[in-house]
């Protein structure tokens, strides 16, 4: 502000402006990095400081590396830089567009590159981007936005989140992947499935494949030879993909299936007789009570499904549409449509049997059982010759059910009648042996 007569002028400046006026005498201190020449500095009121700058006087082709002084045109970039005295600083950078003098070069024109100052197409310098990333990691989106505004570097919360994602993607590209988890996931439930790959060390999703086939998973693993450990479920599809695409990697079970295996082993041990002590860990009454509880639970589930089925059909008979029935009951419209097409509650779907299940070889095992071959190891060896790829424990579960059914049958027969039937008339025993596997199969289907 100017005051006084024409012969005497007094300039009133704020104290901060006086201190910055001395700093502006050395324009190089305002440069955001090497290769940038400062032309002028101006205070634009509420908009903060505006720094005018230009690039180098010589261009270097990024493809062939040849220097060029033939200027083709100009381009402008506006970059946000570090604040001064709490006020924002904007660098208006005037860059040259050069012609490449080498005829063999495929690039005809190029712009000045300033990799140490700012990334291509960026709207702020690299040092401001580092501060945005640090504050975003520590505070988050909206708190970071308020803090950056107070520091004189206004950015939005969306910009902070984009910076975090950009930094994470760059760190992922620059680092090797060692431990991954692979599993299937649903693009659309019960319709189409894909494959998701997760970096377990950084706890981030690496890639999502379009399908869950062996070929696509094996191709992805071959493209990442640095993988050392792969965590997967018990699906044989991904096991085959790992053997083909990453044979050097060690396959491990994920945490969920480890706990599930532990639970299955405990339940099996609790229901069978203890081999070390020669006595049952659970009493016979406890085993019977557990089986009774399971039967009651299955019956209650069937009754509940029947009640739901009747309620849906009753609402349909009232003239309600599928969408209205879904809104009133809370079920999905697709489920309502499926249930209304049946005259009885639909049965639960069961997975198709494969060679890892002993039930796949039920006929062969039943024939061996009826022929008197009832030792688990002998049957395991025989069924392996026919293509069984499962474990001995799975086979023992089937044989254990047959043995328990046989013991219950023999307990119901009086001892005198049983001994007399064994020696005098062997035909009922053979009929019982033929009936036992059929009875177990029917009970499995009923469950």
pLDDT tens digits, residue range 71-110?
A: 888 888 889 999 988 888 999 988 888 888 888 888 888 8
Q: What is the mean pLDDT of residues 381-391?
A: 88
Whether 365 and 345 map to the same domain: the answer is: no
Confidence at residue 289, expressed as pLDDT on a 0 to 100 scale? 66
Q: What is the mean pLDDT of residues 324-345?
A: 85
Where among 65, 89, 114 does a domain terminate?
Answer: 114
Confidence at residue 337, expressed as pLDDT on a 0 to 100 scale? 87
The band of 248, judged by pLDDT with boundaries at 50, 70 and 90, is: very high
Choose among 349, 351, 385: nearest CA to 365.
Answer: 385
Q: Determine, yes or no, domain membership for 156.
A: yes
Whether 50 and 94 map to the same domain: the answer is: yes
Q: What is the mean pLDDT of residues 179-192?
A: 85
Where among 330, 349, 368 does a domain terminate?
Answer: 349
Could you tell me where the beta strands, DSSP code E, fall in 114-268?
179-188, 192-199, 204-209, 229-232, 250-253
pTM, full prediction: 0.41
Q: Domain tally for the chain? A: 5
CATH number reported for the structural domain that contains residue 219 in this entry: 3.30.420.10
- Exposure on the CB side of residue 292, measured as CA atoms within 13 A: 6
Question: Residue 133: helix, strand or coil by DSSP?
Answer: helix
Whether 362 and 425 map to the same domain: the answer is: yes
Q: Determine, yes or no, domain membership for 122.
A: no
Q: Determine, yes or no, domain membership for 267.
A: no
Q: What is the mean pLDDT of residues 400-409?
A: 81
Confidence at residue 221, expressed as pLDDT on a 0 to 100 scale? 92
Whether 332 and 384 map to the same domain: the answer is: no
Query: 95 burial class (0-12, 13-18, 19+ CB within 10 angstroms)?
Result: buried
Whether 445 and 369 map to the same domain: the answer is: yes
Q: Determine, yes or no, domain membership for 411.
A: yes
Q: Determine, yes or no, domain membership for 426.
A: yes
Q: What is the mean pLDDT of residues 141-162?
A: 90
Domain range for 214 is 179-258
Which of the two residues, 272 and 395, has the higher pLDDT score? 395
pLDDT tops 90 at residue 230: yes
Which of the two residues, 55 and 174, has the higher pLDDT score? 55
Which of the two residues, 413 and 151, has the higher pLDDT score? 151
pLDDT tops 90 at residue 229: yes
Q: Is 372 left (phi over 0), alpha (psi -120 to 50) or beta?
A: left
Whether 313 and 254 map to the same domain: the answer is: no
pLDDT tens sequence across 294-322: 777 777 878 888 888 888 889 888 888 88
Whether 390 and 310 map to the same domain: the answer is: no
pLDDT tens sequence across 163-184: 888 887 777 666 788 999 999 8
pLDDT tens sequence across 15-25: 344 444 444 44
Whether 442 and 357 map to the same domain: the answer is: yes
Alpha carbon distance 447, 441 (integer Å): 10
Whether 341 and 366 map to the same domain: the answer is: no
The band of 11, judged by pLDDT with boundaries at 50, 70 and 90, is: very low
Q: Determine, yes or no, domain membership for 389.
A: yes
pLDDT tops 60 at residue 232: yes
Whether 320 and 390 map to the same domain: the answer is: no
* Phi, psi at 25, each rounded to 5°: -65, -30
Choose among 94, 103, 95, 109: nearest CA to 61.
Answer: 109
Confidence at residue 72, expressed as pLDDT on a 0 to 100 scale? 86
Q: Determine, yes or no, domain membership for 276.
A: no
Whether 332 and 363 map to the same domain: the answer is: no
pLDDT tops 70 at residue 433: no
Confidence at residue 442, expressed as pLDDT on a 0 to 100 scale? 52
Q: Is 60 left (phi over 0), alpha (psi -120 to 50) or beta?
A: beta
**Pair of tokens at residue 192:** 């189409």
Whether 364 and 437 map to the same domain: the answer is: yes
Q: Which residues pair with 184 in a beta bridge?
A: 195
Where among 217, 243, 258 does a domain terminate?
Answer: 258
Confidence at residue 288, expressed as pLDDT on a 0 to 100 scale? 60
Q: What is the mean pLDDT of residues 333-341?
A: 86
Alpha helices (runs of H) in 318-426, residue ranges in sequence order: 322-329, 333-340, 362-370, 376-385, 392-412, 415-424
User: 394 with 358: CB under 8 angstroms?
Assistant: yes
The band of 12, judged by pLDDT with boundaries at 50, 70 and 90, is: very low
Q: Determine, yes or no, domain membership for 211.
A: yes
The band of 2, judged by pLDDT with boundaries at 50, 70 and 90, is: very low
Confidence at residue 173, expressed as pLDDT on a 0 to 100 scale? 67
């Amino acid at each position: 502000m100017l005051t006084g007569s024409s012969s005497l002028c007094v300039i009133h400046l704020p104290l901060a402006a006086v201190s910055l006026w001395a700093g502006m005498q050395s324009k190089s201190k305002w440069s955001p990095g090497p290769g940038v020449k400062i032309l002028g500095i101006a205070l634009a009121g509420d908009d903060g400081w505006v720094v005018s700058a230009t690039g180098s006087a010589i261009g270097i082709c990024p493809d062939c590396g040849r220097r060029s002084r033939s200027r083709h045109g100009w381009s402008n970039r506006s970059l946000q830089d570090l604040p001064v005295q709490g006020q924002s600083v904007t660098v208006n950078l005037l860059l040259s567009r050069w012609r490449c003098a080498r005829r063999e070069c495929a690039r005809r024109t190029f712009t000045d590159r300033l990799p140490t100052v700012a990334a291509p197409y960026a709207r702020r310098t690299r040092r401001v981007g580092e501060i945005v990333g640090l504050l975003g990691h520590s505070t988050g989106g909206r708190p970071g936005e308020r803090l950056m505004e107070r520091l004189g570097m206004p950015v939005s919360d969306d910009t902070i989140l984009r910076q975090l994602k950009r930094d994470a993607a760059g760190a992922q590209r620059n680092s090797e992947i060692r431990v991954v988890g692979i599993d299937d996931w649903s693009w659309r439930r019960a319709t189409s499935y894909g494959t998701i790959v997760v970096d377990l060390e950084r706890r981030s999703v690496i890639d999502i494949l379009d399908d869950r086939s062996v070929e696509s998973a094996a191709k992805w693993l071959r493209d990442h030879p640095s993988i050392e450990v792969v965590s997967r479920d018990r699906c044989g599809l991904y096991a085959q993909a790992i053997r083909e695409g990453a044979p050097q990697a060690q396959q491990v079970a994920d945490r969920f299936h480890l706990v599930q295996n532990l639970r299955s082993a405990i339940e099996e041990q609790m229901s069978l007789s203890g081999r070390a002590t020669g006595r049952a860990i659970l009493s016979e009454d406890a085993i019977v009570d557990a089986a009774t509880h399971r039967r009651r639970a299955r019956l209650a589930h069937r009754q509940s499904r029947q009640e739901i089925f009747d309620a849906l059909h009753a609402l349909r008979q009232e003239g309600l549409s599928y969408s209205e029935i879904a809104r009133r009951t809370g079920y999905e419209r697709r489920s309502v449509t499926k249930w209304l097409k049946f005259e009885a509650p639909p049965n639960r779907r069961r997975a198709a049997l494969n060679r890892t299940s002993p039930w796949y070889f039920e006929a062969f095992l039943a024939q061996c059982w009826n022929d008197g071959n009832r030792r688990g190891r002998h049957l395991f060896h025989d069924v392996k010759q026919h293509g069984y790829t499962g474990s001995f424990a799975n086979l023992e579960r089937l044989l254990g059910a047959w043995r328990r059914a046989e013991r219950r049958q023999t307990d119901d027969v009086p001892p005198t009648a049983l001994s007399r039937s064994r020696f005098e008339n062997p035909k009922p025993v053979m009929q019982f042996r033929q009936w036992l596997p059929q009875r177990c199969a029917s009970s499995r289907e009923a469950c």
